Structure 1
Amino acid sequence: MEEEALQVLEALVQPNGLYVASSTPDYRYVWIRDTCYVAFAYLQKKDGHYEQIYSTLLDLFKKYKWKIEYHAEKRPEATFEYIHPRYDPDRLEELHEPWGNAQNDAIGLFLFGIGEGLRVGKTMFRDESDREIVQLLAKYLVNLEFWQDADNGMWEEYAELHASSIGACVAGLMAISPYVLVDQTAVRYGMHALIDLLPRESATKECDLAQLSLIYPYQLLPMELSREIVAQVENQLLRQKGVIRYKGDQYFAEEGSEAQWGFGLPWLGLCYLIVGDVEKAHSYLLWTESIMPKPGILPELYLGQSGSPNQHTPLAWAEAMYVLLHEQVSEWRNKV
């Protein structure tokens, strides 16, 4: 089914190399976060696709260089002043409607993706203007004092201090620190704030699907704590057709049951590979395939009561998670 999933991804890519979240009209937008997660499916490939994704994202940020420069010096006071997380796929321009703009994790993830590309030998900087944008984004996060900045987080909801957002910023700054100037004191502040908050995601959420990002892709935590986070998500949030984001989630809730997110299954599988349990990862691969309404297709979520997928089917981010898990499980099993 991996081949079918790759074909689904190819149907969602735009001429500029970026991905819309889904083909439905209300999701036919480019999210920074979604696109960066999709990019990981191409990190180990030599087709230039990974570089193209980030080159276009860098060009997008250059359109708003004035904004990034300003807020790299003057901390945003209103949510709309933060770097926008969502863009028109054709014009690559901000969408003006309010959208919980304070999403520090998306910027941290972008920087992490740049660092990962450089780490594996890809040419991520075409010229000094690319490097300058990355430098500005690093300065922007530090000026936000991300370690104590209440943001809207991965789910674009309530502003509070999120472990997953702090972790994304720490991982992003660490990943680019060999290539641009990074305030190491800010990185230390971030790690201290993260450890102080864990194993909680936030003041209001004991456990959250977003915490898996601390293990995959960031690999930011000691092995014992990584296993604790995975077990916590598994024990509290795992359901028959996916993983709920957190207890009490109202997005697509149905008769009091939280929606079950399809990409939670391959995400748990990827985390099990990080902690060294290949068989458990393989079981999540098979589980992921069992919830596909058609071969290679993963929806955003399944409704809790009816068990039906919502209209955002397929979801690019979910497709990429499945492709990654399929490839990595195959590699591990071939080594044995």
Structure 2
Amino acid sequence: MSKLKRLHQVLDTMRLPNGAYIASPSDDYSYVWIRDVGYTVLPYLTTPCNRYEKAMHALLDLFRRYEWKIDIHTQRKPVHLYEYIHARYDKDLTEIKEPWGHAQNDAIGLFIWNIAQGIRHRKAVLRDEKDREILQKLVWYLACVEYWDHPDNGMWEENREVHASSVGAVVAGLQAIRLLVDVPEDLIRKGQQTLSLILPRESITKETDLALLSLIYPYQVVERGMAQRILKNVTTKLERTYGCIRYEGDQYYNHGKEAEWCFGFPWLGLCHAVLGNRQQAQEYWQKTLYLLPDDGRMPELYIGGTNRPNGNTPLAWAVAMVLLLKQHMSAAGEESSEAAAG
């Protein structure tokens, strides 16, 4: 069996009957994150199967279920974290009562962007007028929270501050969806102004962060010069043996050193691919293959200071990143090694 087919099979083991995906079959990650689903289905954006639209339908159903909450916070800013659109859900797509850092504007921006990409690729992601209405309400939700100046928990669900990666995700989503729903130009402009003030930093406390790669891939919301600055900062400060650390001083799975996230390598490869840097993309493809187990179960990370992956193996997001880089390399006509043959 080819590695490519095996990777798809690994993703299918984390796909739920409702079309969504759990982040990992581990005890800690056996939940549905809006963000993780958004990244996990990207390999299916350009394929004839229905996995992409089914995942979007599942998330739209989720938003329909909690439309009452969205309605409230299109008029009144959330105060408590539980008032925000939740970031993660149980397998039946119901909210989990456990306290969590739910202020994650990037997840909503990604979802809106996902829908726009699905339409662009002629996927039947919208079923009826109600789905379009939900999209419109999500736009008003982001306006109400004032995403451009809003301290959120960010991609890593940690301390609240204004994150460039969160602002950029929303800008990308709003730009992509503005022909389908009402998006005031001022709503986009405010986010762009924030990016011009923060970048190439991620936030006040973080000079650079792995999350910034999202502004290059998949969103492509920064001009080439800024993209190159971000890439240089990430590779020189965050790249390690088994991937990339998320940011300097990260305490998650830190055993004397920061944990090394495996999807850092394919993500860097994807960024170079969209910038047309074929040689660098090929180099990161080879680094990705070095990490990829024969069974395709790409881990979340290697525990800091060790050569051991953690228990969140496989991580759906990481498996998807490998598939995406493979697709880009194939589309560019690059020949991979025998280990990558699909």
TM-score normalised by structure 2 residue count: 0.96
Partner of 2:246: 245
User: 1:102 and 2:95 equivalent?
Assistant: no
Deviations 1:97-132 (A, max 9, x none): 111010000000000000111112222211000000
Give the Cα separation in 1 of the matches to 2:313 and 2:28.
12
* Distance of 2:331 and 2:297 partners within structure 1: 22
Deviates more, 1:94-103 or 1:117-126: 117-126
How far apart are the structure 2 equivalents of 1:306 and 1:226?
31
Q: Deviations over 1:178-237 (max 9, x none)?
A: 100012101000000011100100000000000000000000011111111111101100
Residue 202 of structure 1: aligned partner:
203
> 1:105–1:166: 8 Å Cα contact kept in structure 2?
yes
Alpha-carbon displacement from aligned partner over 1:242-273 (angstroms, at most 9, x marks no partner):
10000000000012x00000001000000001
1:323 paired with 2:323, answer yes
User: Given residue 77 of structure 1, which amino acid in structure 2 is its aligned partner?
Assistant: V
Question: What SS is found at the alignment partner of 1:165?
Answer: helix
Q: Is the 8 A contact 1:289 1:295 kept in 2?
A: no
Name segments (4+ residues, structure 1) moved above 6 Å. Answer: none
Unaligned runs of 5+ in 2: 336-342
Letter in 1 for 2:200: P
CA distance in 2, matches of 1:175, 1:46: 22
Q: Tell me how far apart the structure 2 counterparts of residues 296 and 180 of structure 1 sit (CA, whole Å).
A: 39
Query: What is the letter of the counterpart of residue 252 of structure 2?
Result: Y
Q: Which moved more, 1:326-335 or 1:67-76?
A: 326-335
Offset of 1:334 from its aligned partner? Answer: 5.5
Give the fraction of aligned pairs with identical amino acids, expressed as a percent: 49
**Which piece of structure 1 moves more, 239-248 or 46-55?**
46-55
The partner residue of 1:88 within 87, 90, 93 is 90
Partner residue, 1:267 = 267
Answering whether residue 305 of structure 2 is matched by residue 305 of structure 1, we say yes
**Aligned to 1:6, which of 3, 8, 32?**
8
What is the aligned partner in structure 1 of residue 186 from structure 2? 185
Find the aligned partners of 1:237 and 1:295 in 2 and give their Cα distance.
27
Question: What's 2:151 paired with?
Answer: 150
Question: 1:50 corresponds to which residue?
Answer: 52
Assess if the C-alpha contact under 8 Å between 1:3 and 1:296 holds in 2: no
Specify which of 27, 39, 54 is matched with residue 25 of structure 1.
27
Equivalent position of 1:226 in the other structure: 227
Distance 1:122-1:250 versus aligned 2 partners, 3 A rule:
same
1:68 and 2:70 equivalent? yes
State the shift of 1:333 in Å: 1.8
Counterpart Cα distance in 2 of 1:163 and 1:237: 17
Q: Which amino acid aligns with 2:95?
A: E
Alignment check: 8 A CA contact 1:243 1:261 kept: yes
| 2:177 matched residue in structure 1 | 176
Give the conservation status (yes or no) of the 8 Å contact 1:112–1:173.
Answer: yes
**Alpha-carbon distance between aligned partners in 1 of 2:59 and 2:206, rounded to the nearest angstrom:** 31
1:333 paired residue number:
333
Could you tell me whether the CA contact under 8 Å between 1:18 and 1:56 is conserved in 2?
yes
TM-score by length of 1: 0.97
Which amino acid is the alignment partner of residue 97 of structure 2? H
Instruction: Give the number of equivalent residue pairs.
Output: 333
AA aligned opposite 1:304: G
Q: What is aligned with 2:340?
A: none
In structure 2, relative to structure 1, the CA distance for the partners of 1:39 and 1:60 (3 Å cut) is same
Note if contact 1:289-1:296 (Cα within 8 Å) is conserved in structure 2.
no
